[in-house]
Amino acid sequence: MRRRLTTLAAALLLASSAACGSAGEPAAGGKDKVNAGVIAIVDTAPIHLGKAKGFFDKQGIDLTITPVQGGAASISGAVSGQFQFAFANTTSLLTAREQGLDVKVVANGVSSTGEPGEDFSAVLVKQDSPIRTARDLAGKKVSVNQLKNIGDTTIRASVREAGGDPAGIEFVELAFPDAPAALESGQVDAIWVVEPFVSQALSRGARAVTWNFAEAVDDLTVAMYFTTGKTDPDLVKRFTAAMNESLTYAQGHPEEAREVLKTYTKIAPEVIAEIRLPRWGTEINRDSVQAIADLAQGDGVLKGKVDVAALIP
Protein backbone atom coordinates (compact mmCIF):
# COMPACT_ATOMS: atom_id res chain seq x y z
CA MET A 1 0.00 0.00 0.00
CA ARG A 2 3.00 2.20 0.26
CA ARG A 3 4.93 3.08 -2.90
CA ARG A 4 3.94 5.30 -5.75
CA LEU A 5 2.42 3.64 -8.77
CA THR A 6 4.66 5.88 -10.84
CA THR A 7 7.35 3.29 -10.15
CA LEU A 8 5.18 0.63 -11.76
CA ALA A 9 7.05 0.27 -15.02
CA ALA A 10 10.37 -0.37 -13.32
CA ALA A 11 8.77 -2.70 -10.81
CA LEU A 12 7.15 -4.66 -13.62
CA LEU A 13 10.52 -5.37 -15.18
CA LEU A 14 11.98 -6.50 -11.88
CA ALA A 15 8.99 -8.64 -11.02
CA SER A 16 8.99 -10.22 -14.48
CA SER A 17 12.60 -11.25 -14.15
CA ALA A 18 11.93 -12.71 -10.69
CA ALA A 19 8.69 -14.49 -11.59
CA CYS A 20 8.49 -18.04 -10.34
CA GLY A 21 7.60 -20.47 -13.09
CA SER A 22 6.21 -23.10 -10.72
CA ALA A 23 3.69 -20.82 -9.04
CA GLY A 24 0.11 -21.83 -9.83
CA GLU A 25 1.18 -25.38 -10.81
CA PRO A 26 0.10 -28.43 -8.80
CA ALA A 27 2.15 -29.04 -5.66
CA ALA A 28 2.76 -32.29 -3.83
CA GLY A 29 -0.54 -33.86 -2.81
CA GLY A 30 -2.39 -32.31 -5.73
CA LYS A 31 -2.60 -28.80 -4.31
CA ASP A 32 -2.06 -25.75 -6.50
CA LYS A 33 0.99 -23.69 -5.58
CA VAL A 34 -0.06 -20.09 -5.09
CA ASN A 35 2.17 -17.12 -4.34
CA ALA A 36 0.36 -14.11 -2.84
CA GLY A 37 2.01 -10.69 -2.59
CA VAL A 38 0.92 -9.23 0.73
CA ILE A 39 2.02 -6.21 2.75
CA ALA A 40 3.13 -7.12 6.28
CA ILE A 41 0.72 -4.86 8.16
CA VAL A 42 -2.17 -5.22 10.60
CA ASP A 43 -4.69 -5.17 7.74
CA THR A 44 -3.51 -8.51 6.34
CA ALA A 45 -3.82 -10.62 9.51
CA PRO A 46 -6.68 -12.73 8.04
CA ILE A 47 -4.66 -14.30 5.23
CA HIS A 48 -1.90 -15.30 7.67
CA LEU A 49 -4.46 -16.63 10.12
CA GLY A 50 -6.30 -18.49 7.36
CA LYS A 51 -3.11 -20.17 6.22
CA ALA A 52 -2.33 -21.24 9.79
CA LYS A 53 -5.86 -22.60 10.23
CA GLY A 54 -5.69 -24.67 7.04
CA PHE A 55 -8.42 -22.80 5.16
CA PHE A 56 -6.33 -22.63 1.99
CA ASP A 57 -5.24 -26.27 2.27
CA LYS A 58 -8.93 -27.19 2.44
CA GLN A 59 -9.41 -25.49 -0.93
CA GLY A 60 -6.49 -27.36 -2.50
CA ILE A 61 -4.14 -24.39 -2.30
CA ASP A 62 -0.52 -24.58 -1.18
CA LEU A 63 -0.17 -20.91 -0.21
CA THR A 64 3.07 -18.93 -0.02
CA ILE A 65 2.74 -15.40 1.35
CA THR A 66 5.45 -13.12 0.00
CA PRO A 67 5.93 -9.79 1.82
CA VAL A 68 5.88 -6.72 -0.44
CA GLN A 69 6.58 -3.08 0.35
CA GLY A 70 3.35 -1.62 -1.01
CA GLY A 71 0.61 -1.55 -3.61
CA ALA A 72 2.93 -0.81 -6.55
CA ALA A 73 4.97 -3.95 -5.84
CA SER A 74 1.90 -6.14 -5.37
CA ILE A 75 0.25 -4.86 -8.55
CA SER A 76 3.37 -5.18 -10.69
CA GLY A 77 4.02 -8.64 -9.27
CA ALA A 78 0.52 -9.80 -10.11
CA VAL A 79 0.57 -8.32 -13.62
CA SER A 80 3.96 -9.92 -14.37
CA GLY A 81 2.89 -13.34 -13.08
CA GLN A 82 5.06 -13.44 -9.97
CA PHE A 83 1.92 -13.47 -7.82
CA GLN A 84 -1.38 -15.15 -8.61
CA PHE A 85 -3.09 -12.99 -5.97
CA ALA A 86 -2.11 -9.87 -4.07
CA PHE A 87 -3.34 -7.13 -1.72
CA ALA A 88 -3.61 -3.40 -2.45
CA ASN A 89 -5.64 -0.42 -1.32
CA THR A 90 -8.67 0.83 -3.21
CA THR A 91 -7.01 3.91 -4.73
CA SER A 92 -3.99 1.94 -5.96
CA LEU A 93 -6.30 -0.55 -7.68
CA LEU A 94 -8.38 2.21 -9.25
CA THR A 95 -5.18 3.84 -10.52
CA ALA A 96 -4.01 0.51 -11.96
CA ARG A 97 -7.30 0.11 -13.85
CA GLU A 98 -6.98 3.65 -15.17
CA GLN A 99 -3.52 2.74 -16.47
CA GLY A 100 -5.07 -0.16 -18.38
CA LEU A 101 -3.72 -2.93 -16.15
CA ASP A 102 -5.73 -6.14 -16.02
CA VAL A 103 -6.47 -6.31 -12.29
CA LYS A 104 -9.68 -7.77 -10.88
CA VAL A 105 -10.79 -7.91 -7.26
CA VAL A 106 -11.50 -11.37 -5.82
CA ALA A 107 -12.13 -10.67 -2.11
CA ASN A 108 -12.43 -7.92 0.43
CA GLY A 109 -9.22 -7.08 2.25
CA VAL A 110 -9.97 -4.66 5.06
CA SER A 111 -12.64 -2.10 5.91
CA SER A 112 -13.04 0.84 8.23
CA THR A 113 -14.97 0.14 11.42
CA GLY A 114 -16.94 3.30 10.64
CA GLU A 115 -16.54 4.42 14.24
CA PRO A 116 -14.53 7.59 14.93
CA GLY A 117 -12.33 6.93 17.93
CA GLU A 118 -12.42 3.19 17.31
CA ASP A 119 -10.89 2.91 13.85
CA PHE A 120 -7.40 2.03 12.66
CA SER A 121 -6.71 5.27 10.75
CA ALA A 122 -6.51 8.82 12.08
CA VAL A 123 -5.05 12.27 11.56
CA LEU A 124 -3.14 13.34 14.68
CA VAL A 125 -1.76 16.61 16.02
CA LYS A 126 0.31 17.61 19.06
CA GLN A 127 -1.59 17.97 22.30
CA ASP A 128 -1.20 21.76 22.36
CA SER A 129 -1.96 22.28 18.65
CA PRO A 130 -4.55 24.94 17.74
CA ILE A 131 -5.99 22.42 15.25
CA ARG A 132 -9.15 21.09 16.90
CA THR A 133 -11.16 19.56 14.04
CA ALA A 134 -10.72 18.44 10.45
CA ARG A 135 -11.85 21.88 9.32
CA ASP A 136 -8.76 23.41 10.94
CA LEU A 137 -6.47 21.32 8.70
CA ALA A 138 -7.13 23.76 5.85
CA GLY A 139 -3.90 25.52 4.93
CA LYS A 140 -1.78 23.26 7.15
CA LYS A 141 1.09 20.86 6.42
CA VAL A 142 -0.06 17.24 6.76
CA SER A 143 2.00 14.08 6.28
CA VAL A 144 0.78 11.06 4.33
CA ASN A 145 2.70 7.89 3.56
CA GLN A 146 2.10 8.27 -0.18
CA LEU A 147 1.02 11.29 -2.16
CA LYS A 148 -2.09 11.11 -4.38
CA ASN A 149 -3.50 8.02 -2.74
CA ILE A 150 -6.19 6.98 -0.27
CA GLY A 151 -4.73 9.05 2.57
CA ASP A 152 -4.93 12.52 1.06
CA THR A 153 -8.21 11.66 -0.70
CA THR A 154 -9.97 10.73 2.55
CA ILE A 155 -8.38 13.63 4.46
CA ARG A 156 -9.67 16.12 1.89
CA ALA A 157 -13.11 14.53 2.12
CA SER A 158 -13.04 14.76 5.93
CA VAL A 159 -12.12 18.45 5.75
CA ARG A 160 -15.00 19.12 3.35
CA GLU A 161 -17.39 17.20 5.62
CA ALA A 162 -16.31 19.45 8.49
CA GLY A 163 -16.98 22.59 6.45
CA GLY A 164 -13.39 23.41 5.51
CA ASP A 165 -11.59 23.97 2.23
CA PRO A 166 -8.91 21.31 1.60
CA ALA A 167 -7.42 23.12 -1.40
CA GLY A 168 -4.68 24.77 0.65
CA ILE A 169 -3.48 21.67 2.50
CA GLU A 170 0.19 20.94 1.85
CA PHE A 171 0.67 17.19 1.86
CA VAL A 172 4.15 15.91 2.71
CA GLU A 173 5.20 12.34 1.98
CA LEU A 174 6.56 10.58 5.08
CA ALA A 175 6.67 6.88 5.89
CA PHE A 176 4.35 5.99 8.75
CA PRO A 177 7.20 5.07 11.15
CA ASP A 178 8.79 8.50 10.59
CA ALA A 179 5.63 10.56 10.98
CA PRO A 180 5.33 10.78 14.81
CA ALA A 181 8.85 12.19 15.17
CA ALA A 182 8.13 14.72 12.40
CA LEU A 183 5.05 15.84 14.30
CA GLU A 184 6.92 16.19 17.60
CA SER A 185 9.70 18.22 15.93
CA GLY A 186 7.26 20.57 14.23
CA GLN A 187 8.22 19.47 10.72
CA VAL A 188 4.51 19.06 9.98
CA ASP A 189 1.31 20.34 11.60
CA ALA A 190 -0.50 16.99 11.49
CA ILE A 191 0.16 13.39 10.50
CA TRP A 192 -1.95 10.68 8.96
CA VAL A 193 -1.09 7.24 10.35
CA VAL A 194 -2.67 3.81 10.67
CA GLU A 195 -2.23 1.19 13.36
CA PRO A 196 0.04 0.45 15.17
CA PHE A 197 1.23 4.05 14.80
CA VAL A 198 -2.12 5.52 15.85
CA SER A 199 -2.02 3.85 19.27
CA GLN A 200 1.69 4.52 19.71
CA ALA A 201 1.35 8.24 18.96
CA LEU A 202 -1.77 8.66 21.12
CA SER A 203 0.02 7.00 24.03
CA ARG A 204 2.77 9.61 23.69
CA GLY A 205 0.37 12.54 23.89
CA ALA A 206 -0.80 13.09 20.33
CA ARG A 207 -4.45 13.98 19.76
CA ALA A 208 -6.81 12.84 16.98
CA VAL A 209 -8.61 15.54 14.98
CA THR A 210 -10.26 13.27 12.42
CA TRP A 211 -10.65 9.54 11.87
CA ASN A 212 -10.46 9.95 8.11
CA PHE A 213 -11.47 6.45 6.98
CA ALA A 214 -14.49 6.43 9.27
CA GLU A 215 -15.57 9.99 8.55
CA ALA A 216 -14.85 10.47 4.84
CA VAL A 217 -16.97 7.66 3.34
CA ASP A 218 -19.59 5.45 4.95
CA ASP A 219 -18.54 1.81 5.43
CA LEU A 220 -15.29 2.33 3.52
CA THR A 221 -13.68 -0.65 1.79
CA VAL A 222 -10.04 0.33 2.28
CA ALA A 223 -8.19 -2.47 0.47
CA MET A 224 -8.88 -5.69 -1.42
CA TYR A 225 -7.30 -8.90 -2.68
CA PHE A 226 -7.02 -9.11 -6.46
CA THR A 227 -5.76 -11.16 -9.38
CA THR A 228 -5.47 -10.75 -13.16
CA GLY A 229 -7.34 -12.22 -16.09
CA LYS A 230 -4.57 -14.79 -16.52
CA THR A 231 -5.51 -16.72 -13.37
CA ASP A 232 -7.55 -19.91 -13.74
CA PRO A 233 -11.22 -19.19 -12.81
CA ASP A 234 -11.51 -22.33 -10.68
CA LEU A 235 -8.42 -21.32 -8.69
CA VAL A 236 -9.90 -17.84 -8.25
CA LYS A 237 -13.10 -19.38 -6.90
CA ARG A 238 -11.20 -21.51 -4.38
CA PHE A 239 -8.92 -18.67 -3.29
CA THR A 240 -11.94 -16.43 -2.74
CA ALA A 241 -13.64 -19.11 -0.65
CA ALA A 242 -10.52 -19.55 1.51
CA MET A 243 -10.07 -15.80 1.84
CA ASN A 244 -13.68 -15.25 2.86
CA GLU A 245 -13.40 -17.97 5.50
CA SER A 246 -10.20 -16.32 6.73
CA LEU A 247 -11.84 -12.89 6.95
CA THR A 248 -14.84 -14.28 8.83
CA TYR A 249 -12.62 -16.17 11.26
CA ALA A 250 -10.39 -13.15 11.95
CA GLN A 251 -13.40 -10.92 12.56
CA GLY A 252 -14.88 -13.45 14.98
CA HIS A 253 -11.62 -14.22 16.77
CA PRO A 254 -9.86 -10.87 17.36
CA GLU A 255 -7.46 -12.26 19.94
CA GLU A 256 -6.20 -14.88 17.49
CA ALA A 257 -5.86 -12.12 14.89
CA ARG A 258 -3.73 -10.16 17.35
CA GLU A 259 -1.67 -13.27 18.09
CA VAL A 260 -0.89 -13.96 14.42
CA LEU A 261 0.51 -10.42 14.08
CA LYS A 262 3.46 -11.61 16.16
CA THR A 263 4.40 -14.08 13.41
CA TYR A 264 4.86 -11.67 10.51
CA THR A 265 5.24 -8.12 11.89
CA LYS A 266 7.74 -6.51 14.23
CA ILE A 267 5.07 -4.82 16.34
CA ALA A 268 5.83 -5.13 20.06
CA PRO A 269 3.48 -7.50 21.93
CA GLU A 270 2.39 -4.76 24.33
CA VAL A 271 1.39 -2.58 21.36
CA ILE A 272 -0.44 -5.46 19.65
CA ALA A 273 -2.57 -5.82 22.78
CA GLU A 274 -3.73 -2.18 22.53
CA ILE A 275 -4.16 -1.42 18.82
CA ARG A 276 -7.54 -0.77 17.24
CA LEU A 277 -8.32 -3.56 14.82
CA PRO A 278 -10.02 -2.88 11.47
CA ARG A 279 -13.15 -4.66 10.28
CA TRP A 280 -12.64 -7.83 8.25
CA GLY A 281 -15.97 -8.43 6.57
CA THR A 282 -16.44 -10.47 3.41
CA GLU A 283 -18.68 -7.91 1.70
CA ILE A 284 -17.09 -5.26 -0.53
CA ASN A 285 -18.94 -1.97 -0.34
CA ARG A 286 -19.05 -1.05 -4.03
CA ASP A 287 -20.64 2.29 -3.22
CA SER A 288 -17.64 3.22 -1.09
CA VAL A 289 -15.24 2.20 -3.87
CA GLN A 290 -17.22 4.36 -6.29
CA ALA A 291 -17.14 7.22 -3.78
CA ILE A 292 -13.33 6.98 -3.54
CA ALA A 293 -13.12 6.91 -7.36
CA ASP A 294 -15.27 10.03 -7.60
CA LEU A 295 -13.31 11.84 -4.89
CA ALA A 296 -9.98 10.88 -6.48
CA GLN A 297 -11.16 12.13 -9.86
CA GLY A 298 -12.36 15.37 -8.32
CA ASP A 299 -8.99 15.86 -6.64
CA GLY A 300 -7.09 15.10 -9.84
CA VAL A 301 -5.62 11.83 -8.56
CA LEU A 302 -7.52 10.00 -11.31
CA LYS A 303 -7.69 11.70 -14.70
CA GLY A 304 -11.05 10.22 -15.67
CA LYS A 305 -13.81 7.86 -14.62
CA VAL A 306 -12.78 4.29 -13.76
CA ASP A 307 -15.18 1.41 -14.40
CA VAL A 308 -15.64 0.09 -10.88
CA ALA A 309 -17.73 -2.82 -12.21
CA ALA A 310 -14.73 -3.98 -14.25
CA LEU A 311 -12.48 -3.81 -11.20
CA ILE A 312 -14.97 -5.67 -8.99
CA PRO A 313 -16.71 -8.19 -11.32
Contact 210, 137 (CB under 8 A): yes
- Over its C-alpha atoms, the chain yields an Rg (Å, rounded) of 19
Whether a cis peptide bond, with omega within 30° of 0, leads into 233 is no
Mean pLDDT of the chain: 92
Phi, psi for 61 (deg, rounded to 5): -120, 125
Q: Please report the DSSP string for 148-191 in residue order.
A: SSHHHHHHHHHHHHTT--GGG-EEEE--GGGHHHHHHHTS-SEE
Burial class (CB in 10 A: 0-12, 13-18, 19+), 54: exposed
**CB of 178 closer than 8 Å to CB of 5:** no
pLDDT tens for 102-160 read 999 999 999 999 999 999 999 999 999 999 999 999 999 999 999 999 999 999 999 99
CA distance 155 to 161: 10
Q: How far apart are CA 241 and CA 254, in angstroms?
A: 20
Going through the chain in order, the beta strands assigned E by DSSP cover 32-39, 61-68, 85-89, 103-111, 121-125, 141-144, 170-173, 190-194, 207-210, 221-228
Per-residue pLDDT of the chain (313 residues; tens, 9 = 90+): 434 444 444 444 343 433 343 345 555 568 999 999 999 999 999 999 999 999 999 999 999 999 998 888 999 999 999 999 999 999 999 999 999 999 999 999 999 999 999 999 999 999 999 999 999 999 999 999 999 999 999 999 999 999 999 999 999 999 999 999 999 999 999 999 999 999 999 999 999 999 999 999 999 999 999 999 999 999 999 999 999 999 999 999 999 999 999 999 999 999 999 999 999 999 999 999 999 999 999 999 999 999 999 999 8
Q: Is 148 left (phi over 0), alpha (psi -120 to 50) or beta?
A: left
